[in-house]
Structure 1
Amino acid sequence: MWTLAVLFCHDIPETIDHVLLACPVTSRWWFAMVSGLQVQPDSTVMSLLQQVFELHDSSLEALCVSVLWVIWEARNRCVFQGVEPRVDDLVTRLKLMAAPPRTTASVRQRILPATWHRPEQDIIKMNFDGSWKEDREAGFGCVARNDQGLVMAAATTFPIDAPSPLIAEALAFRWTLSLASDLFFMEIALETDCLQLFDAWNKPLHGASYFISILRDCKDLVSRFNSFSLSFVRRSGNTVADHLAKNSSKYPNYVWIEEVPPDCIRLVDSDVTAAMTT
């Protein structure tokens, strides 16, 4: 029977701890999906969970359990269907698992519907997203729309060096804020489908990691605007930005004013239609 250990690291027979933590391939996945968590070579699943739960961080607890499940799903698809996992697919799966609303009131109030909806009058809503590959190559996309659903601008940039998907999302956040300032959008509402970024933004920015330093840059940029908000939206409400980010290599470092590229027109129209019915 095929095992993940044989298929990917060609090292030792499969065990739970090796598949979920110790396999060099799995270790790279952990680095890509969980920023700042140190997974030691001799860690077991139980010792990792004990380490995480001792931090008393419910968001990190949920994230780590989700990563374990995503890796186990990938293992089963590989063994039973012959599908070789890719890290960007795993990150996408992790985002989808994080998308349903959580139970705490403070987060629930900021979770948005599953479709795009119009901002308040005189507010420019900017949806943004980052894409990432294992070679550290990232691309960003964003779209800005007014309270009528009309496109004010769209943009992409590629390639950007980013060590992990979370860093790519944070860099896309900073890039979107800079773009908004350059376009003189003074009252903005930003939306991301990265729950980990959204949660981090709403916590004190302690530490000196690269991720935290990017968020501090964003805090400085926010002071340029008359009004600002960041909300979490499900992937289905962020389709235009997601499409632009994933296709940013086709349009590197491009800005559209009051339009989007042709392959996005259908997605924009679908958003407006959905907004009219909600």
Structure 2
Amino acid sequence: MWELWTSRNRCVFSNIRGRAEESLSRAIVMAREWQEGQLVTPKVQSATKADVTTVSGAMLRSDAAWSETLSRAGLGWILTQNDVSTSFSRLENNVPSPLMAEGLALREAIQKSVELGVKNLQVESDSKILINSILNGNDVPELYGIVADILLCSVLFDSISFRWIS
């Protein structure tokens, strides 16, 4: 609501007209910031190779393929629990970049893990920028909302770790 009010004031008092998409994007960012402030931030861990072999729980690996000409992404992930692997996929339209596709794939994968009742999760992705954004809070404007969603979902696990794999 604050963004709507300030956009209106810029238009009325300064004759500055912004794009509706920009206002909506800023409003979503502010709403997510407020939402994050309402929850306890989970302790997100970086997994090392030793952690992967010693920590029990499910293993989640995600990846994405992106078509620039179609602005479409294929999202995929594999969840391994008790030596049983299950693969999932989804097609997503209007995806602006490969980085966004990677973020969407990981978010979908984590949400599916929550749905399935997974409590301990080791997450691996080949997107170094995405993993660093999750672990270090590196602000990548393109990923802000997706990383916020991932962190919000992370509080639903007893333990979760994120690791970049090449």
Q: Deviations over 1:74-114 (max 9, x none)?
A: xxxxxxxxxxxxxxxxxxxxxxxxxxxxxxxxxxx85659x
Residue 220, structure 1, aligned to residue 152, structure 2: yes
Q: Percent identity?
A: 21
Task: Tell me which moved more, 218-227 or 154-163.
Answer: 154-163
Aligned partner letter, 2:64: G
Pick one of 79, 83, 90 that aligns with 1:144. 79
Q: Which has the larger radius of gyration?
A: 1
Kept in 1: contact 2:103–2:130 (CA 8 A): yes
Equivalent residue number for residue 261 of structure 1: none
TM-score norm. by structure 2 comes to 0.64
2:134 touches 2:151 (CA, 8 Å); kept in 1?
no
Q: Which has the higher contact order (CA 8 A, sep 6+)?
A: 2
* Map 1:186-225 → 2, pairs under 5 A: 186-204=119-137, 206=139, 209-225=141-157
From 175, 178, 182, give the equivalent of 2:115: 182
C-alpha displacement at 1:202, in angstroms? 2.0
Give the CA deviation at 1:120: 3.5
Structure 1's 156 and 199: CA in aligned 2 closer, same or farther, altered over 3 A?
Answer: same
**Structure whose residues are more often strand by fraction:** 2
Which runs of 5 or more structure 2 residues have no equivalent in the other structure? 1-45
| Residues 219/136 of structure 1: CA separation in 2 closer, same or farther (3 Å cut) | same
- Structure 1 regions of 5+ residues with no counterpart? 1-108, 235-278
CA RMSD, aligned part only?
2.5
Corresponding residue SS for 2:96: coil
Alignment of structure 1 residues 1-278 onto 2, 5 Å: 112=49, 119-120=53-54, 122-134=56-68, 135-146=70-81, 150-204=83-137, 206=139, 209-234=141-166
Equivalences, count: 120
